[in-house]
Amino acid sequence: MSGGITFSGRVVYGDESSDDGAESIEIHFDDKKFLQKAANKKPQSTLEYLRSTVAAFSEGTYSWPFDYTLCLHWIAGTAGFYGGDIKSVCDHQTRRIVGVFQAALTVTYYLVFRGLLFKLLTNEHARLLVKKTVEHSDLSERLYDRLPNLLHGASKSVGRYMSGMAFTDWMQSGGKLKGQAPKGVSFAIAMFNLLAVNWGAALHVVLKHGDAIDIVQIFAAMITGDPDYRLTDEDFSELFNTARELADNIMKDSENEEDYKVYRDFMDSIIKFGESGGKG
């Protein structure tokens, strides 16, 4: 399908476009980076479409970071709003992301995610979370002071210094959305926002890096918004192997078991979100 998004922000099809100024097409449907470029715009016709088709979408309740807007265009593209070619691109990326998330439902990858929370978050919320969950107060002070530049081994990453409920705290804070959604926003809208920005983070990684992706890249993008973060092969192996070795013992703690259930519920939700085209 010919057409695209005009400089004025309208979505046009075929001969609806103009060659003049603001109504000429800025982003064509056949542009291989259509979704990424579209994520920097908020065309009114797309927003109107989303309001009419996605129950939990509410314009104005979010600060519109790139990954969130990227997800909105993926929702519209998956539904065929941008034509068959863009729908095919969206469907292909959906299958890839769902496959990665399905593989990440295990306890081992829960611990990998938890380790990355500890390793990557350097904001005040993360500092307080680590300070609260570290078992020994003297160590707590040292970690609190050193966290932004802390380099630590994989065994520390996956749980020796971080007790259970780590993922739960991250999710309940809205992840990296903390403080951005207005108070009083309904649960449905807040959950849509959380799922959308995390799906958008995964989509950002897949669109940017193609087949050269791994689950850690997607986890890191979900936590920090950085699609380029990557562990070395050695660091990944150490983190993964340590998580696998510690899994049985860590899951004997009821707090960890409860946190893992929340992690699985969240992963199940984001998988359903992707499979439904953002409407589940």
Taken in order 26, 31, 36, 42, the sign of the CA dihedral is: positive
Asked if residue 50 is part of any domain, the answer here is no
In a domain, 137, yes or no: yes
Residue 168 covered by a domain: yes
Residue 19 sits in which domain range? 1-31
Both 111 and 26 in one domain: the answer is: no
Q: Are residues 110 and 190 in the same domain?
A: yes
- Strand order in 11-13's β-sheet? 11-13, 3-6, 25-28
- Within-domain flag for 6: yes
Domain identity same for 268 and 188: yes
* 126 and 234, same domain (yes or no): yes
Task: State how far the alpha carbon of 61 is from the alpha carbons of 43, 192, 236, 259, in Å.
Answer: 17, 11, 37, 28
Co-location of 10 and 131 in the same domain: no
Predicted structure pTM score: 0.78
The answer on 260 and 149 residing in a single domain is: yes
- Regarding whether 145 and 252 lie in a shared domain, the answer is yes
Count: domains in the chain: 2
Question: Are 142 and 4 found together in one domain?
Answer: no
Rounded to a whole number of angstroms, the distance between the first and last alpha carbons of the chain is 27
The predicted structure's pLDDT at residue 158:
53
Q: Is residue 67 part of a domain?
A: no
What is the model's pLDDT at position 141? 46
pLDDT per position in the chain (280 positions), as tens? 678 888 888 888 876 666 677 778 888 898 889 998 888 877 777 877 777 777 656 554 444 578 888 998 999 999 999 999 999 999 999 999 999 999 999 999 998 888 787 777 644 444 454 444 444 444 444 433 433 333 344 445 454 445 567 777 777 666 655 445 555 556 677 788 888 889 999 999 999 888 777 888 899 888 877 888 888 888 788 788 888 887 887 788 888 888 899 999 999 999 999 999 997 6
242 within some domain: yes
Instruction: Specify if 82 maps to a domain.
Output: no
